[in-house]
């Protein structure tokens, strides 16, 4: 069965070529497969395929920045959905459509909304296309089809928007992995997984950036202070580095959770197995090591 799952680079390449793929999430989430296509490649034929064979709700995934650009507001004031899917108010192209529901009309709306220079005035509400707002940080923050669609389109060098549609069986039940494999073989579509996408991004992207480096004199002696900003959460993490060493060299490392004033002042009253000063002193005496805050 694993041989039916394509690696992420192949999924990205198909999206870049304007093809449709199937993306599967985890059993502990919705355990469903969605048809996914980069929004800028969408056609009336693609929308019709999704409606005919996918049978689910056809949605447009958008980044937070894109939603702000289009001034799209949440569909409801309080999101009570089980997976917290961020629906906005539905949309329609302001011009160039008739009833809005035909495959051609929905493809037109998707093209208009996903255009780089699209604005609020290019759309009307409500409509027959359902935008979904992705969490900033993509699948590394929320492992949903919404975020995966935006991530994959961006990785393909396209606008970070995609069209997605859940796949149902002919009897109306959700299609699970065995059904999706048969579906992919029947229609010649590749299958990828959100789990693989998370792993791929983690292995191939730098998730932190160095924002500061300077020498510092601590109670234990001189160290080099490095500060890193998490690209996803924007939180800053500090590292006190002693000496120089290679990547393959084993050195002392202490990961010290954020401490309180009591931890600094009361050497015997802290909650940690190693007091902050003791950890610094030990690393300083050895001459090499890192203390991470």
- pLDDT(39) > 70: yes
- How do residues 169-204 score in pLDDT, each as one tens digit? 999 999 999 999 999 999 999 999 999 999 999 999
- How do residues 220-257 score in pLDDT, each as one tens digit? 999 999 999 998 888 899 999 999 999 899 999 998 87
pLDDT band at 3 (very low <50, low <70, confident <90, very high): confident
Edge to edge, the sheet with strand 21-24 lists 91-93, 123-133, 55-62, 162-167, 33-38, 21-24, 191-193
- Supply angle C-alpha 113, 68, 86, rounded to 5: 80
**Maximum pairwise Cα distance, the chain:** 77
- Helix residue ranges, H only, 175-253: 177-187, 194-204
Answer for the pair 39, 153: CB distance below 8 angstroms, yes or no. yes
- Helix residue ranges, H only, 2-144: 8-16, 44-49, 64-70, 103-114
Answer for the pair 126, 132: CB distance below 8 angstroms, yes or no. no
Question: Does 277 or 90 have the greater pLDDT score?
Answer: 90
Q: What is the pLDDT of residue 270?
A: 52
Complete domains list, the chain, with CATH: 2-203 (3.90.870.10), 208-292 (3.40.50.10990)
Q: At what angle do helices 145-155 and 8-16 cross, to 10 degrees?
A: 70
Here the tokens at position 149 are: 């669609």
Edge to edge, the sheet with strand 252-255 lists 208-218, 221-230, 236-242, 289-292, 252-255
Compute the Cα dihedral for 65, 69, 75, 78 and give only its sign.
positive
pLDDT band at 269 (very low <50, low <70, confident <90, very high): low
Q: What is the pLDDT of residue 30?
A: 58
- pLDDT(266) > 70: no
């Amino acid at each position: 069965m694993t041989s039916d799952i394509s690696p992420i680079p192949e999924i990205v390449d198909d999206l870049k070529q304007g093809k449709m793929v199937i993306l599967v999430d985890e059993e502990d989430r919705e355990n469903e497969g969605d048809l996914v296509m980069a929004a800028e490649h969408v056609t009336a034929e693609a929308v019709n395929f999704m409606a005919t064979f996918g049978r689910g709700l056809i949605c447009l995934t958008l980044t937070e920045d894109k939603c702000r650009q289009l001034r799209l507001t949440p569909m409801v004031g309080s999101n009570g959905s089980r997976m917290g899917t961020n629906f906005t108010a539905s949309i329609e192209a302001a011009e160039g459509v008739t009833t809005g529901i035909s495959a051609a009309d929905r493809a037109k709306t998707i093209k208009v909304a996903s255009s780089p220079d699209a604005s609020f005035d290019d759309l009307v509400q409500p409509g027959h296309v359902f935008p979904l707002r992705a969490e900033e940080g993509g699948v590394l923050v929320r492992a949903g089809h919404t975020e995966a669609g935006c991530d994959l389109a961006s990785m393909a060098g396209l606008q970070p928007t995609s069209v997605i549609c859940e796949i149902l069986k002919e009897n109306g039940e959700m299609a699970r992995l065995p059904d999706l494999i048969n579906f992919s073989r029947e229609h010649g579509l590749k299958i990828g997984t959100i789990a693989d996408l998370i792993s791929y991004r983690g292995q191939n992207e730098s998730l932190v950036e160095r924002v500061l480096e300077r020498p510092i004199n601590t109670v234990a002696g001189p160290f080099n202070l490095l500060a890193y900003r998490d690209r996803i959460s924007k939180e800053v993490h500090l590292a006190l580095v002693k000496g120089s060493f290679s990547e393959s060299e084993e050195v002392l490392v202490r990961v010290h959770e954020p401490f309180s004033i009591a931890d600094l002042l009361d050497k015997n009253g802290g909650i940690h197995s190693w007091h902050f000063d003791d950890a610094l002193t030990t690393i300083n005496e050895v001459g090499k090591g890192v203390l991470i805050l």
